[in-house]
């Protein structure tokens, strides 16, 4: 929509996770180091939590992009509102393993045989469970039981649990003691600082060819941080709207007024209220 106006090669603040836009803030850099440390260890559980929109999925995709498929076979489960049988089916599907049957015993046998074959060929399995806070206690326990698969002293499966803060609460319950003992590292993605928010915005803009057009002043950047709390997805949404406002005004600068107008429109939409005139103009432009 506004990319040609600013000379961008692509949308800089798209919502879909893209590892090529990964930004190594202090928190994200630390979390990626934990994940890579976990891969190096080759066993146990790694737990990564963060608020909605904090960049967990982008972080995971960055890790997957960096993995050597000759050493590690990674699979990801993203639909976690499952019972134990459905979870095992989802894991089989994620690894591309046709289950020999639908009973729990048959699926466990299929997975163990698959993991053993990988290990015999010098490879290992990594399971990444996204939105893990949706799992029930029985399903988390099933994942712990899968970690018992071994070939000699070598663990056959390693698991990363990625989810919202509720996951940490669940893992601290009394019934999760055995799993906690197998967690080799955990971290929480917090909000970015003002300086990191600036770095994040400029990083994404440079990825699409930004050369100081539009201009972004300190006051506008501080307003973006204040209104988004330093959460990446919120920043993406607000920056997209602010760029749209600048385009509609035929401006080469994103001003604090652009940011305030965009924030007001978003707030009104979320509250189900009538949006300001600026939002109506934006909607009309999109339809045109």
CA gap 234, 51 in Å, rounded: 11
- DSSP assignment of 213-255 equals -SEE-HHHHHHHHHHHTT-HHHHHHHHHHHHHHHHHTT-SEE-
Residues in the chain: 288
CATH 1.10.8.60 matches 192-287: yes
Strand, helix or coil at 125?
Answer: strand
Residue 55, C-beta contacts closer than 8 angstroms, at least 6 positions apart: 17, 28, 189, 232, 233
Rounded to 5 degrees, φ, ψ at 102 are -105, -5
- Cα-Cα-Cα-Cα dihedral of 167, 172, 177, 178, to 10°? 20
pLDDT of residue 250: 77
CB 82, CB 143: distance < 8 Å = no
User: ω into residue 198 within 30 of 0, thus cis?
Assistant: no
User: ω into residue 48 within 30 of 0, thus cis?
Assistant: no
**pLDDT, tens digit (0-9, with 9 covering 90-100), for 183-220:** 998 889 999 999 999 999 999 999 998 887 888 888 99
**Kind of pairing, strands 124-129 and 72-77?**
parallel
Rounded to 5 degrees, φ, ψ at 251 are -105, 155
CA–centroid distance for 105 within its chain = 32
Would you give per-residue pLDDT tens digits along the chain (288 residues)? Answer: 677 777 888 999 998 889 999 999 999 999 999 888 888 888 899 999 999 999 999 999 999 898 888 899 999 998 888 888 899 999 999 999 987 667 888 899 999 999 999 999 999 999 999 999 999 989 999 999 999 999 888 899 999 999 999 999 999 888 899 999 999 988 899 999 999 999 999 999 999 988 878 888 889 999 999 999 999 999 999 999 888 888 888 778 888 888 888 888 887 776 665 544 444 433 333 322
Take residue 209 and report the two structure tokens written for it: 């060819």
DSSP one-letter code for 123: -
pLDDT of residue 102: 76
Cα-based distances in Å from 39 to 124, 163, 196, 197, 288: 10, 18, 27, 29, 49
Which one of 3.40.640.10, 3.20.20.10, 3.40.50.300, 3.40.50.80 gives the CATH number of domain 26-189?
3.40.50.300
Which residue ranges make up each domain of the chain? 26-189, 192-287
In what helix (H) or strand (E) does residue 157 lie, and over which residues does it extend?
A: strand 157-163
DSSP one-letter code for 99: P
**pLDDT, tens digit (0-9, with 9 covering 90-100), for 207-256:** 998 887 888 888 999 999 999 999 999 999 999 988 888 888 877 888 88
Helix-strand-coil percent breakdown of the chain, rounded to 5? 55, 15, 30
Q: What is the pTM of this model?
A: 0.84
């Amino acid at each position: 929509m506004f990319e040609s106006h600013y000379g961008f090669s692509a949308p800089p603040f798209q919502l879909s996770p893209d590892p090529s836009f990964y930004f190594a803030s202090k928190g994200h850099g630390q979390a990626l180091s934990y994940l890579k440390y976990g891969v190096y260890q080759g066993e146990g559980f790694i737990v990564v939590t963060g608020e909605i929109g904090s960049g967990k999925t982008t972080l995971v995709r960055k890790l997957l992009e960096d993995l050597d498929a000759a050493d590690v076979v990674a699979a990801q489960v993203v639909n976690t509102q499952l019972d134990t049988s459905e979870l095992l089916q989802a894991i089989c599907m994620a690894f591309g393993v046709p289950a020999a049957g639908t009973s729990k015993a048959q699926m466990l046998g299929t997975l163990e045989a698959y993991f053993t074959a990988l290990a015999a060929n010098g490879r290992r399995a990594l399971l990444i469970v996204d939105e893990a806070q949706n799992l029930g206690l029985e399903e988390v326990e099933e994942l712990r039981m899968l970690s018992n698969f071994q070939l000699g002293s070598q663990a056959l499966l390693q698991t990363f649990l990625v989810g919202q803060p509720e996951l940490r609460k669940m893992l601290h319950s009394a019934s999760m003691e055995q799993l906690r003992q197998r967690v080799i590292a955990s971290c929480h993605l917090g909000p970015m600082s003002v300086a990191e928010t600036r770095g994040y915005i400029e990083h994404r803009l440079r990825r699409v060819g930004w050369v100081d057009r539009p201009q972004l002043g300190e006051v506008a950047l501080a307003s973006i941080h204040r209104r988004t709390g330093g959460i990446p997805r919120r920043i993406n949404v607000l920056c997209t709207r602010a760029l749209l406002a600048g385009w509609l005004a035929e401006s080469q600068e994103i001003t604090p007024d652009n940011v305030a107008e965009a924030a007001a429109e978003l707030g009104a939409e979320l509250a189900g209220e009538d949006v300001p005139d600026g939002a109506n103009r934006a909607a009309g432009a999109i339809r045109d």
